Structure 1
Amino acid sequence: MSAPPAVELEPRVPWAGEQEALAQAAAAGRRAAAWIRNLPLPPSEPWIVGSLADAVEEAMATLDPGDETWVAETGRGGLSETTEETLNGLIYAMPEVSAWLTAEQQLALLGITHCVSGIPKLLANDPGTVIEGGGLAALCATLDVACRTARASVL
């Protein structure tokens, strides 16, 4: 018996505006990560300004509409399991950092990490709407607003 012939998959065709949308997302991730790195936290809390900020930047820089790896009934969109775990870990750190951050900063930090952890999954599950429909741009604008609002609250 011979093996069945290999099925060749057609190469994925990028969505209209995909490259630009992903570049904007990576830039928004860098801005959000920079904001996190500048939070007024004591040296005893290096995880937030280090690993968490790095995870925000990495998640937004590695978005991949072609990554349809399915986990828990959802696509990953380029989000690694390690990065996802780091983003999800913030909820456990909030009690310790809440004494150092304003309510607005806490809200922005939670909003940024949850938005960033959801964007890749949304992208994997509905890339056309997210890219061509402007959803990714809107979510990136939300990240920027969160940073600006929290920054303004301490002035």
Structure 2
Amino acid sequence: MTVHFLPTARTLQGPEPHPGELPGTVPADPLFGAVPEQREPWQGEAERLAEAAAGRRAAQWIRSLPLPGEAWICGPLADAVEDAMTSLDPADRDDVDRYGHAGVPESARHQLEALLFRIADTAPLTARQQAALLAVVHCVQGLARLLANDPGTTIEDGELTAVCAAISNAIGSADPQDA
């Protein structure tokens, strides 16, 4: 049996109490409604997060792609890659629904998701450049999910390092000046 705390739910004594008000629970934060979590950093966390500099290099690579005019890819998409990789936060996790954000701002997530809807904008690029661009965006999106859902494993088992290496390999395999 699942117990749900709905605003309209009633007990015999009146309205159902808020979960933070139940006996034996920690009171919720009055401003945000969440219980603040204290945590110790994972072993090697600072070093692994420093490897996310691959995102800055990838953003620079995207900005240098030979696209006409003020291409969306070279501007907002490149900014979103850089923003996502520089704002990674293992404390912003979500074990419940497996859709955590790991500190990546909503605006950056929307820009990253938009690439598939604007894939026609990549037509002037070579096949290698298109594949590398898709790989970079996919890795950035995936890294945020990995970090949000299982930060300890992602950091300590080298998954963050491997994804950053994949980003570096992708941009290294497709020189932006290829014709």
Q: What is the TM-score normalised by the length of structure 2?
A: 0.76
| CA displacement at 1:23 relative to structure 2 | 1.2
1:78 match: 103
2:68 pairs with one of 17, 32, 42:
42
Judged with a 3 Å threshold, the aligned counterparts in structure 2 of structure 1 residues 70 and 149 are, in CA distance, closer, same or farther, namely same
1:94 pairs with one of 119, 126, 131:
119
Return 5+ residue gaps in structure 2 as ranges: 1-20, 29-34
Return 5+ residue gaps in structure 1 as ranges: none
Whether the aligned pair in 1 keeps the contact of 2:42 and 2:152 (CA below 8 Å) is: yes
Whether the aligned pair in 2 keeps the contact of 1:104 and 1:153 (CA below 8 Å) is: no
The Cα offsets for residues 30-54 of structure 1, whole Å up to 9 and x where unpaired, read as: 0000000000000052x11110001
Judged with a 3 Å threshold, the aligned counterparts in structure 2 of structure 1 residues 39 and 71 are, in CA distance, closer, same or farther, namely farther
Q: Distance in 2 between matches of 1:73 and 1:126?
A: 9
Question: Which secondary structure does the structure 1 equivalent of 2:173 belong to?
Answer: helix
1:119 match: 143
Identity %: 50
1:56 and 2:81 are equivalent in the alignment: yes
2:166 match: 142
Question: Which secondary structure does the structure 1 equivalent of 2:75 belong to?
Answer: helix
What is the Cα-based RMSD across aligned positions, in Å?
A: 2.3
| CA displacement at 1:10 relative to structure 2 | 5.3
Judged with a 3 Å threshold, the aligned counterparts in structure 2 of structure 1 residues 154 and 133 are, in CA distance, closer, same or farther, namely same
Runs of 4+ off more than 4 Å: 7-10, 69-72
Rg comparison, structure with higher value: 2
| CA displacement at 1:71 relative to structure 2 | 8.8
**Pairing 1:19-30 to 2, within 5 Å after superposition:** 19-25=46-52, 27-30=53-56
Aligned residues: 150
Larger helix proportion of the pair:
1
| CA displacement at 1:97 relative to structure 2 | 2.3
1:65 match: 90
1:6 and 2:31 are equivalent in the alignment: no
1:130 pairs with one of 154, 157, 174:
154
